[in-house]
């Protein structure tokens, strides 16, 4: 049996029963997308009311008002937005409460992290999970990123499992039922190593909203504000996680860092940086296929051409910013990883990263990495077949024309999509 996946209903989705039920439920429920409603829900969930400095309220308002004003957003899409914001606000309350009780957390050092940056869909996820399989590293699984501070009123379940893990697992099962091809494109299991920009969500400043919503107004707001304070907030939450579960070195990753190299290096000046590179056309076609597919329950129309235009430009902006700021990366602690080379030699790539970071690739680490590779073979969940021409009314050449400066700066990037 072929494991190829061809999603041929992007423009006119054929919904499954779970998707129809979700849409119907969302339409039957009123969701109040206001700052007051989000804060009230967070306070009710935690029993806390000290959100700290109020500057986040403006950012939250920008996000909520854009979603509230969009007539194409479904009731389910509004519910999902409210849920994400109220969870982030609850995390903000618990983070502040914990720091009030344990100010010593702010003295914890986050030393010499290894940080993977690079385009989305360029191997960053696989690479960071391979690195994190070395148990000497501290990494952040998805379940921990969603709720970095545990509810003090909860303990481990009767099965010894953290209830935060159980909630994350339930969300993953729901996602697989509601968007069954997501597993093939972007695994979101609880133990999957996640992007640390999730830790900026309680400060309501990262580019995550763009991945779950059509949010050009938020993009413009976000890109015109200095993100250094929000990277400092990210570091504070990492200190909290380090306090709960210490390790000597962190391994992190996020494509967002490509356009925030300045704030990243200000926050983590001794970091080793791993920059992944891939044909931007391959990145765009993967991104827009995934996001158009995922929009079938959050929006009344999937509008593939919108995703084509937005994300061709957005990937271009990420690359333009990274080219602008390359000089800020430390020459002796920066590793450039080309997608085709990584696919040919994963262990060789790991060795280069370890050498730059001053870490020995021990026999034990090799064994742990090999065990991860064996448990996560390529294409395990299926391989998506893309069709820019048929699904998005464009050609690889038209998309690639946006990225001339990138190919000029990094001529070793191999063209994949013809």
For residue 192, give the DSSP letter. Answer: S
Give the chain's length. Answer: 418
Report the alpha-carbon angle 240-362-122, nearest 5.
Answer: 65
Question: 287, exposed or middle or buried, with CB in 10 Å at 0-12, 13-18, 19+?
Answer: buried
Q: What is the pLDDT of residues 29-82, one digit of tens each?
A: 999 999 999 999 999 999 999 999 999 999 999 999 999 999 999 999 999 999
CB 210 within 8 A of CB 219: yes
Q: What is the largest CA-CA distance in the chain?
A: 58
Per-residue pLDDT of the chain (418 residues; tens, 9 = 90+): 358 889 999 999 999 999 999 999 999 999 999 999 999 999 999 999 999 999 999 999 999 999 999 999 999 999 999 999 999 999 999 999 999 999 999 999 999 999 999 998 888 989 999 999 999 999 999 999 999 999 999 988 878 899 999 999 999 999 888 888 887 788 889 999 999 999 999 999 999 999 999 999 999 999 999 999 999 999 999 999 999 999 989 999 999 999 999 999 999 999 999 999 999 999 999 999 999 999 999 999 999 999 999 999 999 999 999 999 999 999 999 999 999 999 999 999 999 999 999 999 999 999 999 999 999 887 677 788 999 999 999 999 999 999 999 999 999 999 999 9
pLDDT of res. 2: 57
Q: Which residue has the tokens 């969870």?
A: 87
Report the alpha-carbon angle 132-134-140, nearest 5.
Answer: 30
Q: What is the pLDDT of residues 390-417, one digit of tens each?
A: 999 999 999 999 999 999 999 999 999 9
Report the alpha-carbon angle 81-87-92, nearest 5.
Answer: 125
Integer Cα distance of 114 and 274 in angstroms? 7
Pair type for strands 272-277 and 383-384 = unpaired
Q: What is the pLDDT of residues 77-94, one digit of tens each?
A: 999 999 999 999 999 999
Integer Cα distance of 73 and 275 in angstroms? 35
Domains of the chain: 4-409 (3.40.50.300)
Edge-to-edge strands, sheet with 114-118: 137-138, 249-253, 114-118, 272-277, 334-338
Q: Which residue has the tokens 């290096």?
A: 265
pLDDT of res. 176: 87
pLDDT of res. 160: 85
Rounded (10°) angle between helices 75-101 and 17-27: 80
pLDDT of res. 172: 92
Integer Cα distance of 52 and 152 in angstroms? 19
Residue 148 tokens, joined = 């970095």
Report the alpha-carbon angle 247-237-141, nearest 5.
Answer: 60
Integer Cα distance of 200 and 204 in angstroms? 6
Q: What is the pLDDT of residues 338-359, one digit of tens each?
A: 999 999 999 999 999 999 999 9
Report the alpha-carbon angle 229-235-239, nearest 5.
Answer: 145
């Amino acid at each position: 049996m072929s494991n190829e996946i061809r999603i041929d209903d992007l423009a006119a989705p054929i919904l499954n029963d779970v998707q129809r039920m979700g849409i119907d439920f969302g339409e039957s429920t009123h969701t109040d997308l206001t700052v007051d409603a989000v804060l009230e829900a967070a306070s009710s969930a935690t029993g806390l009311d000290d959100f700290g400095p109020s500057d986040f309220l403006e950012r939250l308002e920008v996000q909520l008002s854009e979603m509230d004003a969009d007539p194409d957003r479904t009731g389910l899409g509004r519910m999902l937005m409210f849920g994400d914001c109220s969870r982030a606000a609850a995390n903000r309350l618990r983070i502040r409460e914990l720091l009030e009780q344990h100010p010593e957390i702010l003295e914890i050092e986050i030393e010499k992290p290894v940080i993977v940056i690079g385009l989305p869909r360029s191997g960053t996820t696989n690479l960071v999970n391979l690195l994190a399989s070395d148990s000497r590293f501290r990494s952040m699984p998805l379940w921990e990123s969603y709720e970095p501070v545990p509810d003090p009123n909860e303990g481990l379940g009767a099965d010894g499992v953290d209830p935060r893990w159980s909630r994350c697992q339930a969300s993953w099962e729901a996602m697989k039922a509601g968007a069954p091809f997501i597993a093939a494109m972007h695994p979101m299991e609880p133990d999957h190593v996640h992007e640390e920009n999730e830790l900026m969500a309680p400060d309501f400043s990262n580019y995550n909203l763009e991945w779950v919503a059509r949010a050009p107004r938020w993009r413009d707001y976000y890109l015109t504000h200095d993100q250094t304070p929000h990277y400092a907030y990210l570091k504070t939450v990492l200190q909290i996680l380090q306090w709960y579960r210490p390790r000597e070195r962190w391994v992190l990753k996020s494509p967002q860092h490509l356009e925030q190299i300045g704030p990243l290096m200000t926050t983590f000046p001794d970091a080793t940086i791993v920059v992944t590179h891939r044909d931007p056309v391959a990145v765009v076609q993967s991104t827009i296929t995934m996001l158009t597919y995922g929009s079938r329950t959050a929006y009344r129309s999937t509008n593939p051409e919108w995703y084509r235009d937005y994300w061709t430009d957005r990937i271009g902006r990420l690359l333009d910013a990274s080219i602008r700021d390359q000089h800020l990366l430390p020459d002796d602690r920066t590793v450039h990883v080309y997608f085709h080379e990584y696919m040919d030699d994963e262990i060789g790539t790991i060795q280069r990263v370890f050498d730059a970071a001053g870490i020995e690739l021990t026999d034990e680490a090799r064994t742990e990495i090999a065990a991860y590779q064996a448990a996560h073979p390529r294409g395990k969940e299926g391989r998506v077949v893309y069709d820019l021409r048929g699904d998005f009314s464009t050609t690889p050449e038209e998309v690639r024309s946006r990225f001339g400066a990138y190919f000029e700066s990094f001529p070793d990037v191999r063209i994949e999509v013809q």
